[in-house]
Chains A and B, each alone.
Chain A
């Protein structure tokens, strides 16, 4: 019988400890500029009194140009009353997602739904890309409930609500051209089949949020773009129906270098999946084989935020994921043909032990060419204490920053304005919204305000922002390599990387002082390599593909 499965009680563990460097890293500063920015958004997770699991998982956000004026706008995903609590609430009173348009003075103005992106679903994730080839941004909203696709054009967004997307608990989503036909297809992670009547307790018997292992798993979905922005569900024929696991993170990337994009899926408490695409367009899981399904001890982990980045300077992309408290975050080092969980050696294990990591992004905070790592934390189970009625204070945790040395070692650092704030952190989005050459941040939190951080770190060197484009749109899955004399800096273009978010689709490089740009190339998602003229530093360049498709 498919009755509700076993309850698993989340064990609360020992006390956390401070961990981070006590003094702020000199020169690094991420300033919370929310107050004066015009961005006023408070995430509403719904009624917490029954500890509904969707409420603690949080919602994401996106940074993209919504109105085609060349600057980055902010789209924040709202949750609101849970679907089972919406009977009797007039639709107009259900809070919806919010779009904040950047103004010429750098501030933001609430669009108040004028452009039609006011989705009122119980929002989880978001993916942005041009799906209908009209050079405008389109937005896919993943919901706990009915997903929605909004096609942008002429300054407005029209909700396309084809039955094909269905209604389930969707989490992460990734837009990429997996079949090489020049349009963006869609992979949507399915999380769980919730049971609102399920009551769960912690190990000590106190009411708490359920563990995902206590609920049936939802399936993922793959939708192929027909070329006009309409989609067909090809999950079954692609072979992806063969596994059902609770997905929280999705990456689209050509992991095996065969010119066919693959999908990596981070699953909560179950082995992760790496769907390798075969020549006939079907997929088979290679995660166990390649060493990215389990950790070094052979165990599944929580797996929330997921990233690709070259952390050890060997010109291939390594894989990083955030996990629960008492599990360390995991970094799989790419060894060429396989991966190795090398987290302890990289300095990322012990500092992550007290916290539950979610949103995360690689970025060059020091602008020295090496990737650094930011992440936001927030618990999903409480460790002692009783929250105030409906309150979430016992779940709040600090954000973290790790500075990379380019050789695969990270050291935790205090970053003024960022790591000293506690929240139930979920989404972390990056983008250069103030157009000053460094990456700024947008952070979401369960039951908390969205926060905008301007990167005001001092820097000595320069920068380069690269936006690869093909077929008139950005190219998710592309890999950009910058040559600085004998050194190669590699950046993957995965706006969907992280947790439930969509970041600005640019490859950002910090150029160390004195370094000369000697080469620039793009490996397009279909595996074709193209060289470009080395640009001048301190610039933003659009690289339009001229190489023919494979």
Chain B
């Protein structure tokens, strides 16, 4: 190099050095330990790393790699990738907003001040995206700067006056700053737009309390009883969705599918389980759970083959056995149903619903003693199951054990279960109702 520089003079030397410097500074992608990851994930990571090494100045694969790492909890490595992507994204490119937003999320758990700085830069460059203002406001609030947070929330609301989240955030901060009346006005608007957002309802109740009207606050909470609770208002935030919807590994996908199922969001659950079965086509648990969702949606024709596949893969798959039992019972094939329920109990002997279903079945077949045994076991395992007490009452009455039948009726009533009036009348005719 030096002889060239002497021939070309100083500028050439500098250029040579610069070229050397650029080569030496090619960013290296962080390499994640993929030994415990699902095969398709570690393969994807390997592919992305190769792409990055081949073209280290292309921001798109840096972003994709970062998001993949982020989805798997490797936030430090993800942050590194987002920073690198930012280095290569030209000024004014809207993808810079995405990269900064994702970077702020990656930093949030460990460095809120750093996350806020990143978002400040994002807002400065792209001031028209309300979710980044709301996110920045949250961070400012968490850093103890309420006035700065308030300013962010107001800006977000100006851009999107119909945002229940912006209204909630601003209302909450007004409440924290002692402006209960202003908070009430904002929170009422938010609740009107997002009536299932329990956090908004709670904040509004608190605001009424702070304003001295506890009764009004209690009314607000009472109005929410029986409603589903979504927690916070919905986030109208494509970048957030991009980040949270990136499920390329089945543990997370399975988690989300199960959460959707537990929350009763069966349509979402069906979509998620369908995706899962592509990754885990021979996982008996996944097949059985998918079948159960379809079953709950009334699509028993689609559910049954999945139950069967699950049992073929794992004869002890208790949920699949239970599901098949229910299907057989509905068809009136009681012996087959009983067989399936008993198979289910072999694997999961302490599942109260299976005992209850078996008891129900045996009751229908007028096999009262074994029905009662199954129902008593269901009660032991789940003392708060009212309907199984009703069935137990019927079995006891059929066995002539009327006092015990009445006890079971009363227990069922205490648990809020409906006891058929006809049965109560018939029981009363056999034996007077004891005093309570």
Which residues of A come within 8 Å of B, CB atoms?
1-3, 5-9, 11-17, 201-207, 214, 236, 241, 271, 288-291, 293-294, 296-300, 325-326, 328, 335, 337-338, 340-342, 344-345, 349-350, 353-354
7 further A-B pairs in the complex, CB-CB below 8 A; given A3-B351, A14-B76, A289-B202? A6-B258, A8-B259, A14-B109, A205-B36, A205-B38, A294-B199, A298-B172
Pick the contact of A335: B32, B76, B106, B210 (CB < 8 A): B210
Pick the contact of B73: A16, A204, A214, A341 (CB < 8 A): A204
Flag if B206 contacts A338 (CB, 8 Å): yes
* Of B50-58, B125-133, B247-255, B395-403, the one with at least 4 CB within 8 A of chain A: B247-255
Flag if A204 contacts B210 (CB, 8 Å): no
For B172, the chain A residues whose CB sits under 8 A away are 296-298
Q: Does B142 contact A (CB under 8 A)?
A: yes
Given A2-B352, A205-B249, A298 and B232 contact (CB-CB distance below 8 Å): yes
Least CB distance from A336 to B in Å reads: 10
Given A3-B319, A294-B202, A338-B209, A203 and B252 contact (CB-CB distance below 8 Å): yes
* Of B87-95, B110-118, B275-283, the one with at least 4 CB within 8 A of chain A: B110-118
Closest 5 CB pairs of A and B: A203-B73, A298-B199, A14-B110, A6-B258, A13-B109
Flag if B322 contacts A1 (CB, 8 Å): yes
Complex: A202 Cα to B198 Cα, angstroms: 29
Flag if B353 contacts A2 (CB, 8 Å): yes
Interface of A is mostly: loop
Flag if A204 contacts B32 (CB, 8 Å): yes
Pick the contact of B41: A205, A214, A288, A335 (CB < 8 A): A205
Q: Does B144 contact A (CB under 8 A)?
A: yes
Given A6-B261, A204-B74, A296-B172, A326 and B110 contact (CB-CB distance below 8 Å): yes
Least CB distance from B352 to A in Å reads: 7
Complex: A203 Cα to B353 Cα, angstroms: 32
For B256, the chain A residues whose CB sits under 8 A away are 6
Q: Does B203 contact A (CB under 8 A)?
A: yes
Flag if A337 contacts B255 (CB, 8 Å): no
Given A205-B36, A344-B141, A350-B143, A289 and B217 contact (CB-CB distance below 8 Å): yes
Flag if B37 contacts A205 (CB, 8 Å): yes
Q: Which of B52-109 contact A (CB under 8 A)?
A: 71-76, 79, 106-109
Flag if A297 contacts B138 (CB, 8 Å): yes
Q: Does B349 contact A (CB under 8 A)?
A: no
Q: Does B231 contact A (CB under 8 A)?
A: yes
A sample of 16 inter-chain contacts (CB < 8 A) reads: A6-B257, A9-B251, A202-B73, A203-B72, A205-B41, A241-B384, A271-B202, A288-B205, A294-B199, A296-B141, A297-B141, A298-B199, A298-B203, A338-B206, A340-B175, A353-B112
Given A9-B73, A288-B221, A298 and B231 contact (CB-CB distance below 8 Å): yes
Pick the contact of A354: B41, B74, B110 (CB < 8 A): B110
Flag if A11 contacts B73 (CB, 8 Å): yes
For B218, the chain A residues whose CB sits under 8 A away are 289
Q: Closest chain B residue to A285 by CB distance? A: B221
Flag if A296 contacts B176 (CB, 8 Å): yes
Q: Closest chain B residue to A325 by CB distance? A: B109
Complex: A117 Cα to B372 Cα, angstroms: 41
Flag if B252 contacts A9 (CB, 8 Å): yes
Complex: A290 Cα to B175 Cα, angstroms: 12
Given A6-B261, A288-B202, A15 and B76 contact (CB-CB distance below 8 Å): yes
Complex: A417 Cα to B141 Cα, angstroms: 34
Complex: A205 Cα to B254 Cα, angstroms: 12
Q: Which of B379-410 contact A (CB under 8 A)?
A: 382, 384
Complex: A2 Cα to B111 Cα, angstroms: 40
Complex: A17 Cα to B259 Cα, angstroms: 33
Q: Does B200 contact A (CB under 8 A)?
A: yes
Q: Which of B158-208 contact A (CB under 8 A)?
A: 168, 172, 175-176, 198-203, 205-206
Q: Does B262 contact A (CB under 8 A)?
A: yes
Q: Does B292 contact A (CB under 8 A)?
A: yes
Complex: A9 Cα to B73 Cα, angstroms: 9
Which residues of B come within 8 Å of A, CB atoms?
32-33, 36-38, 41, 71-76, 79, 106-113, 138, 141-144, 168, 172, 175-176, 198-203, 205-206, 209-210, 214, 217-218, 221, 231-232, 249, 251-252, 254-262, 292, 319, 322, 351-353, 382, 384, 414
> Which of A14, A206, A271, A344 counts the most chain B CB atoms within 10 A?
A14
Complex: A443 Cα to B173 Cα, angstroms: 38
For B71, the chain A residues whose CB sits under 8 A away are 203
For A341, the chain B residues whose CB sits under 8 A away are 176
Q: Closest chain A residue to B296 by CB distance? A: A1
For B106, the chain A residues whose CB sits under 8 A away are 14
For A338, the chain B residues whose CB sits under 8 A away are 206, 209-210
Least CB distance from B36 to A in Å reads: 4
Given A13-B110, A203-B72, A298 and B255 contact (CB-CB distance below 8 Å): no
Q: Closest chain A residue to B269 by CB distance? A: A6
Complex: A423 Cα to B360 Cα, angstroms: 52
Complex: A474 Cα to B109 Cα, angstroms: 43
For A291, the chain B residues whose CB sits under 8 A away are 202, 206, 209
Least CB distance from A329 to B in Å reads: 12
Pick the contact of B142: A3, A15, A344 (CB < 8 A): A344
Q: Closest chain B residue to A11 by CB distance? A: B73
Complex: A338 Cα to B202 Cα, angstroms: 12
Flag if A350 contacts B112 (CB, 8 Å): yes
Least CB distance from A208 to B in Å reads: 10
Complex: A203 Cα to B113 Cα, angstroms: 25
For A241, the chain B residues whose CB sits under 8 A away are 384
Pick the contact of B221: A7, A13, A16, A289 (CB < 8 A): A289
Flag if A7 contacts B73 (CB, 8 Å): no
> Which of A7, A325, A354 counts the most chain B CB atoms within 10 A?
A7
Q: Closest chain B residue to A206 by CB distance? A: B36
For B113, the chain A residues whose CB sits under 8 A away are 350
Q: Closest chain B residue to A335 by CB distance? A: B210
For A11, the chain B residues whose CB sits under 8 A away are 73, 75, 109
Q: Closest chain B residue to A298 by CB distance? A: B199
Complex: A206 Cα to B261 Cα, angstroms: 24
Complex: A231 Cα to B410 Cα, angstroms: 23
Complex: A297 Cα to B141 Cα, angstroms: 9
Flag if B292 contacts A1 (CB, 8 Å): yes
For B143, the chain A residues whose CB sits under 8 A away are 344, 349-350
Given A17-B110, A298-B200, A298-B202, A6 and B32 contact (CB-CB distance below 8 Å): no
Flag if B259 contacts A6 (CB, 8 Å): yes
Flag if A8 contacts B255 (CB, 8 Å): yes
For B384, the chain A residues whose CB sits under 8 A away are 241
For B79, the chain A residues whose CB sits under 8 A away are 14
For A14, the chain B residues whose CB sits under 8 A away are 75-76, 79, 106-107, 109-111
For B231, the chain A residues whose CB sits under 8 A away are 298-300
Complex: A383 Cα to B109 Cα, angstroms: 12
For B249, the chain A residues whose CB sits under 8 A away are 205
Complex: A328 Cα to B142 Cα, angstroms: 9
Least CB distance from A292 to B in Å reads: 10
Least CB distance from A447 to B in Å reads: 22
Q: Closest chain A residue to B251 by CB distance? A: A201
Pick the contact of B258: A5, A202, A337, A349 (CB < 8 A): A5
Q: Closest chain A residue to B180 by CB distance? A: A338
Least CB distance from B94 to A in Å reads: 26
Q: Closest chain A residue to B261 by CB distance? A: A6
Flag if A7 contacts B111 (CB, 8 Å): no
Complex: A490 Cα to B75 Cα, angstroms: 43
For A288, the chain B residues whose CB sits under 8 A away are 198, 201-202, 205-206, 221
Q: Closest chain B residue to A16 by CB distance? A: B110
For A345, the chain B residues whose CB sits under 8 A away are 144
Pick the contact of B75: A13, A293, A294, A337 (CB < 8 A): A13
Complex: A9 Cα to B254 Cα, angstroms: 10
Q: Closest chain B residue to A342 by CB distance? A: B176
Pick the contact of A289: B75, B200, B205 (CB < 8 A): B205
For A354, the chain B residues whose CB sits under 8 A away are 110
For A1, the chain B residues whose CB sits under 8 A away are 292, 319, 322, 353
Complex: A44 Cα to B107 Cα, angstroms: 36
